Amino acid sequence: LAEHGFHAFAARVDGAIDYTQAAYAEPFALVLGSEAHGLTDVWRGEGVDEVRPIPRSTDVRTSILSVVSPTGC
């Protein structure tokens, strides 16, 4: 993603930044893992900010969250 000018935000339960407090800059990619296994460690480290996603709800699925823009655009 970085090679194409995107900043990556990885949604992780243990993310250091609340998704509402992240400094989103365009363009960016919000990377979501599967509900069962989350993201692999490939999405940790330099160039990736880890954000705590929208709190888990029994009525909200990752597929629905993937269409919600964290910036409200």
Q: In the prediction, which pLDDT does 65 show?
A: 56
- CA–CA gap between residue 54 and residue 59 (Å, rounded): 12
> Looking at residue 73, what is its pLDDT?
44
SS (H, E, C) 5-48: CCEEEEECCCCCEECCCCCCCCCEEEECCECCCECCHHHCCCCE
The pTM assigned to this predicted structure is 0.68
Contact assessment for residue 33 and residue 14, using Cβ atoms and an 8 Å cutoff: no
Q: pLDDT by residue for the chain (73 residues), tens digit each?
A: 888 888 888 888 888 888 888 888 788 888 888 777 888 888 888 878 888 876 665 455 555 555 555 554 4
pLDDT at 64: 55
Question: Which residue in the block uniquely carries the two structure tokens 């709190």?
Answer: 55
Residue 14's alpha-carbon distances to 1, 4, 30, in angstroms, are 22, 27, 15
